[in-house]
Structure formats: C-alpha cells, structure tokens
Amino acid sequence: MTKENRKRIIAVDYGTKRIGLAKTDPLQLFAQPVGTFSEEALFRAIKEISGLDGIGRILIGYPLNADGSHNRMTDIVDAFAARVHNEFPDIPLELVNEHGSSRSAGQILINSGLSRKKRHEKGRLDSASACVLLQAHLDKSH
C-alpha cells in the first residue's frame, strides 16, 4: 500500500444544527466516529486530522430526495461543500448520496443495545450517519 493510500478518508454528515464527522482507520477498512461539531469546530477537526494522519479524500453526504431530485438542503450542502473545497483545495472532495443514512444509523444505534436516552444524546446520530456514509463508500471500494 502506498503512502497516498494510507491517508485517512473522512466523511461529513452536514446538518443545520450539528455536523457529524467520521474517519477511516489507517488501512481504510473501517469507519469510526470522530464526533459532532459546529461548522467552525469541524474545520479545526479536519485540520487536526490532516496534520496527524493526512487526508486522502473528503466525502460529504448529499441530501437528495428518494427520486434523486434536489431540495432546499441540497443547496445548503452545495454552499458548504464549496467552503470545504476553498479551505482544503488539495484534498479531493466527493458528494455522496446520503438518502437513508440517518435511518440506517438509527437502526445501528438501536441494535447496539444503547439505551433510548444514550441513542438520543445530541450528536450521536450525526456521527453515526457519517460512519454509515463512510463505511458504504469503503465497502464499495473493496
């Protein structure tokens, strides 16, 4: 595996209140949650990951409707993705359809045995959704 391939891939689940972040392990086999952030704190977290491990790609969940059409949130994510690209121009950025990722993440949290109270803690679903996006990408790639 080349040094380029060992860089982390990160995934962002953008929300108007909170933004979930996940990253790969060094071998790019598994997604792991990083946390939930405000937009400003997210950029700091990405810079920190980039400085420690390097980032080979940024995935951003793209909120398309079930039929593939755009909606109000799609426009908001487009603007956010432009800011990410401006801040990290040397890191490839990819928009990935996030349809159903929150539902899948919610089911994973239920199946994990977490209490209802723990499952509904602020941000837990957001970072889990970012993990679902990232793991789906990894599964397609391997």
Dump pLDDT digits (tens) for 73-119.
999 999 999 999 999 999 999 999 876 555 554 555 555 555 555 54
Is residue 73 within 8 A of residue 98, CB to CB? The reply is no
Neighbours of 13 (CB within 10 A): 28
Tokens of 20: 């979930």
- C-alpha to C-alpha distance for 107 and 113, rounded to whole angstroms: 10
- C-alpha to C-alpha distance for 29 and 18, rounded to whole angstroms: 26
Task: Name the architecture of domain 4-141.
Answer: 2-Layer Sandwich (3.30)
Ranges of each domain in the chain: 4-141
- Residue entry with tokens 């109000």: 72
State the DSSP string of 63-124: ---TTS---HHHHHHHHHHHHHHHHSTTS-EEEEE-TTHHHHHHHHHHHTT--HHHHTSTTH
Is residue 26 within 8 A of residue 129, CB to CB? The reply is no
Is residue 19 within 8 A of residue 36, CB to CB? The reply is yes
| pLDDT tens sequence across 38-71 | 999 999 999 999 998 899 999 999 999 889 899 9
